Amino acid sequence: MRLLVLIAASVSVLPLATPARAEPPAKELFGAVTRPADMPSRVLGFYAKGCLAGAEALPVDGPAWQVMRLSRNRAWGHPALINFLEKFAREVPRVNGWPGILVGDIAQPRGGPMKTGHASHQIGLDADVWLTPMPNRPLSRAEREDMAAADMVRDDKLDVSQNWTKGQHALIKAAAQKSQVERIFVNAAIKKALCREATGDRSWLQRVRPMYGHNWHMHIRMACPAGEADCQSQDPVPAGEGCGKELDYWFSDAVLHPRPGGKPKPPMEMSALPNACRAVLNAP
């Protein structure tokens, strides 16, 4: 009996096993990396669940573009997207007379989930282009952080605001007509205005898709580049212009005045990404 008491006493003072520390969410891991992976360029996964090896940075200043919000370090992309943006920007003065474009978020140095702002932009094939014209002068670093983009949508969210002009229409149309572009996301009020104003060949409207937010920019999404076997394509764009009754949902009360609440999704873990993303994350 005495022996049992001694055994019980000794067991009671043993330290409890410490549970293994959970790995931080993927957004924390990818958000902490400041440089691209020193690997050949490679897209891994889907626009909203993947990563990017061998990313290339869009220069912060170009002949017809300036990168905004430099502190975010999100001007990285697949070389095909960077090449597209540089060429497209140079065309803008001929397209609508603007000096150039202001470029917002593209992707992090190694892609992956972001701490704030986006569900997609993970594989270096998404880019936000402001619908505010680039000024005809270099912006300071402070201006690039603090300058507000013009809101293209009215307060009631039913149509475009007075900031909307033919310049924005021409910019979106020119981007949507590019063969490399898979989709362009804009606010439904902007899509409504494009549908109302477009003349002649309207086939480009098919690629312009309504989306929550996107009041101040267009979100350009490139198709998977040739040879990128690990890039997961999005389902084809639905047939038709996407005008008329197809837009009605976006102006319903459920969208314009959503009920508060709803449990947020847990942050994405590394296990949700392609296995090769860990090698990208850990590469020099």
Closest CA to 104 of 133, 65, 130: 130
Q: What are phi and psi of 66, to 5 degrees?
A: -140, 135
For 150-163, write each residue's pLDDT tens digit. 999 999 999 999 99
pLDDT class of 179 with cuts at 50, 70, 90: very high
Whether residue 229 is contained in a domain is answered as: yes
pLDDT exceeds cutoff 70 at 138: yes
- pLDDT exceeds 80 at position 84: yes
What are the φ/ψ torsions at residue 44 (nearest 5 degrees)?
A: -125, 110
CB-based contact 105:34 (threshold 8 Å): no
Q: Does 5 have pLDDT greater than 90? A: no
pLDDT (tens digit, 9 = 90+) per residue, 183-221?
A: 999 999 999 999 999 999 999 999 999 999 999 999 999
Percent of the chain with pLDDT over 90: 87
Scan for tokens 């996301």, then name that residue.
Answer: 185
Asked if the structure places residue 8 within a domain, the reply is no
Q: What is the pLDDT of residue 20?
A: 52
Q: Is residue 116 part of a domain?
A: yes
Give bridge partners of residue 220 from the DSSP assignment: 127, 184
| Residue at 15 is within a domain | no
User: Is residue 174 in a domain?
Assistant: yes
Please tell me the pTM assigned to this model.
Answer: 0.91
The whole-number average pLDDT for the span 130-138 is 98
Q: How confident is the model at residue 8 (pLDDT cuts 50, 70, 90)?
A: very low
User: Could you tell me if residue 67 is inside a domain?
Assistant: yes
Query: Please, what is the average pLDDT of the chain?
Result: 93
Range from 4-13, 14-23, 103-112, 179-188 carrying the lowest mean pLDDT: 4-13
pLDDT tens digits, one per residue of 164-177: 999 999 999 999 99
Considering the domain boundaries, does residue 22 fall inside one?
Answer: no
Half-sphere exposure in the Cβ direction for 184 (13 Å, CA): 28
Q: Where are the beta strands (DSSP E) in the chain?
A: 42-46, 49-53, 56-57, 61-62, 65-67, 76-77, 101-103, 126-130, 181-186, 208-210, 217-222
| Residue ranges making up the domain that contains 47 | 38-258+268-275
Question: Is residue 154 in some structural domain?
Answer: yes
Q: Which of 37-41, 84-88, 243-247 has the lowest mean pLDDT?
A: 243-247
Q: What is the rounded CA–CA span in Å between residue 167 and residue 77?
A: 26
CATH number of the domain within which 190 lies: 3.30.1380.10
pLDDT for the residue numbered 259: 85
User: Structurally, how many domains does the chain consist of?
Assistant: 1
